[in-house]
Amino acid sequence: MPRKSEQKSKEYTIKDVAELAGVSTATVGRVLGGYGSASHEATQAVREAANKLHYIPNGIAQSMKKKTTKSVGLIVANICNPYFSSIARIVESVLVKKGYNIIICNTDEDGDREISYLKMLYEKRIDGLMIASALKESERKDSQFNMTYKESIPTIIIDREISNLKFPTVASDNFRGAYEATSHLIKLGHKRIGIIGSTISTFFRRVEGYRQAMLDHSLPFDTNLVFNKSYKNVKPGDVSEGIYATKNLLKYREYRPTAIFALNNLLTTGVLIAVNDLGLKIPDDVAVIGWDDFDLASLLNPPITVVKQSTYNIATIAISRLLQQIENPNTILNEEKKVILSTELVIRGSCGSNVTY
């Protein structure tokens, strides 16, 4: 095999195939593209020629004509978060069956990055967008905001709602999930409950649920127990945020919360590590509840109680709605535009006795 180095093998075009097959480019398009009709003879010749040249159609040129790219963008905070990777996985599996590709973008909860991703994706002329927005409420006041998201392209919002945008959205009932978790702790006798989150919108709703539960049970809402720092500068998969927050919360023995509610998996892990570092015992010294279930939750000692989101449903519903919009641009998704899925409190041992009430 003579190595014609440097000589980048030319990409064959439909024209080359046409010449070799002795037909017109239109005919080649017809047999390869599967539209129109061609004689058996022509079909044969074209296939043969295409094979011989190892012809690979130029999707870019096709997109140019057809005005569709068969790709959708997925913007999430961090693909390393099992919650998002599960969604990506499920979404991709249904997309690929329809010939779509998925372009993944990690914002790290940075609004600016989100905007620049949006720009990239729109330039790429994606057919659809699925997004867990990192933009904070405040950043949306901006007058330019309305221009950031193109309402002309099919979009589905997941995980978090984006106010003043009329896209369909699929998310968990963050308020209720947190309300239930908090109530659970209260019923178990906890009065001082720490909660660890961050500045993203989803977490605000969860903190509200927590707050309401406290209030409804005549307990004070003490902001000292709310750790809501920003995620900035936290490396992906970095567990230190949760550790830091926990150590902070448990610093003063007398004010120490008797329970901690961590608002995502990474934070939960951080809490567990910190509690362990401090030589404290769960649930006797401090109870723990996490947001999002994980495989090892039931194997830890004690097993960890969690608020479980129906990730599968979120992903499935979201992608089916998005495809609906893509394939039928006139679909009006006005009614029932927002679907809020309930969460499930999975009670294991990390909050004390295994009550079932």
- In 3-state terms, what secondary structure has residue 130? strand
Only one residue has tokens 């279930």, namely 293
Site mask for a second copy (CB under 8 A), range 76-115, x = bound = --xxx-x--xx-xxx-xx--x--x-xxxxxx------x--
Only one residue has tokens 């295409």, namely 50
Strand order in the sheet with 344-346: 226-227, 193-196, 259-262, 287-291, 305-308, 344-346
For 126, phi then psi, to 5°, come to -60, 150
For residue 121, the minimal CB distance to a second copy (Å) is 8
Q: Smaller CB distance to DNA: residue 56 or 299?
A: 56
For residue 68, the minimal CB distance to DNA (Å) is 10
Q: In DSSP terms, which residues pair with 193 in a beta bridge?
A: 259
**Please, which of residues 30-59 interact with a second copy by CB under 8 A?**
54, 56-59
For residue 62, the minimal CB distance to DNA (Å) is 4
**Please, which of residues 280-299 interact with a second copy by CB under 8 A?**
295-296, 298-299
With binding defined as CB under 8 A, does residue 305 bind a second copy?
no
In the complex, the residues that contact DNA under the rule CB under 7 A are: 11, 13-15, 22-27, 29-30, 32-33, 35-39, 41-42, 57-58, 61-62, 64-66
Q: Smaller CB distance to a second copy: residue 41 or 295?
A: 295
- In 3-state terms, what secondary structure has residue 165? coil
With binding defined as CB under 8 A, does residue 125 bind a second copy?
yes
E strand map for the chain: 71-76, 101-106, 128-131, 155-158, 169-172, 193-196, 226-227, 259-262, 287-291, 305-308, 338-341, 344-346
| Cβ count near 351 (within 10 Å) | 26
Q: Which positions touch a second copy (CB under 8 A)?
A: 6, 8-9, 11, 54, 56-64, 69, 71, 78-80, 82, 85-86, 88-90, 92-93, 96, 99, 101-106, 113, 117, 119-125, 147, 150, 152, 236-237, 239, 269, 272-273, 276, 295-296, 298-301, 329-330
